[in-house]
């Protein structure tokens, strides 16, 4: 058993420091201290806030996971709100069924409604592209 433990410790020490971060640092805070820390950090992750406060510009850069693709939360909110309030999928399905059966009367009002629906979809697409940091007219 001691040989196995010795081998484990020897092998583990060889991998130490090779591209891995050291173990996290633990700190106990009172409820009030933690609440203040969270409030001061705002939307920034607490670890990043503490590192910035301690080391400022001298803080080493961190590896980042994939950043959120959302660049404009307001535009995304508008798109999601419009989709939530609409019956877009049901209405498009009814239109497709009417077209396939030949029962869609093509009146000036119907044509105007379809053109307005196309403009609405185009506006939602533009808002969604802006929310993702792309410009309307950019490729997929």
CB 37 within 8 A of CB 46: yes
Per residue of the chain (140 residues), what is the pLDDT tens digit? 556 556 666 665 655 555 677 788 888 999 999 999 999 999 888 988 998 898 888 888 777 666 677 777 887 787 778 777 777 777 777 887 887 788 887 788 888 888 888 888 888 778 777 777 777 666 55
Main-chain dihedrals φ then ψ at residue 136, nearest 5 degrees: -55, 135
Q: Tokens at residue 27, please? A: 């700190």
The CA-CA-CA angle for residues 81, 86, 92, to 5°, reads 135
CB 69 within 8 A of CB 132: yes
CB 75 within 8 A of CB 127: yes
pLDDT of amino acid 125? 79
């Amino acid at each position: 058993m001691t040989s196995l433990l010795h081998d484990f410790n020897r092998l583990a020490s060889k991998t130490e420091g090779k591209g891995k971060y050291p173990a996290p640092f633990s700190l106990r805070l009172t409820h009030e201290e933690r609440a203040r820390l969270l409030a001061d950090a705002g939307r920034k992750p607490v670890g990043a806030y503490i590192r910035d406060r301690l080391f400022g510009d001298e803080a080493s850069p961190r590896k980042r996971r994939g950043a959120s693709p959302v660049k404009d939360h307001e535009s995304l909110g508008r798109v999601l709100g419009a989709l939530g309030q609409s019956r877009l999928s049901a209405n498009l399905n009814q239109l497709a069924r009417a077209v396939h059966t030949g029962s869609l009367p093509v009146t000036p009002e119907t044509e105007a409604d379809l053109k307005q629906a196309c403009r609405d979809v185009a506006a939602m697409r533009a808002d969604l592209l802006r929310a993702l940091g792309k410009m309307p007219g950019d490729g997929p």
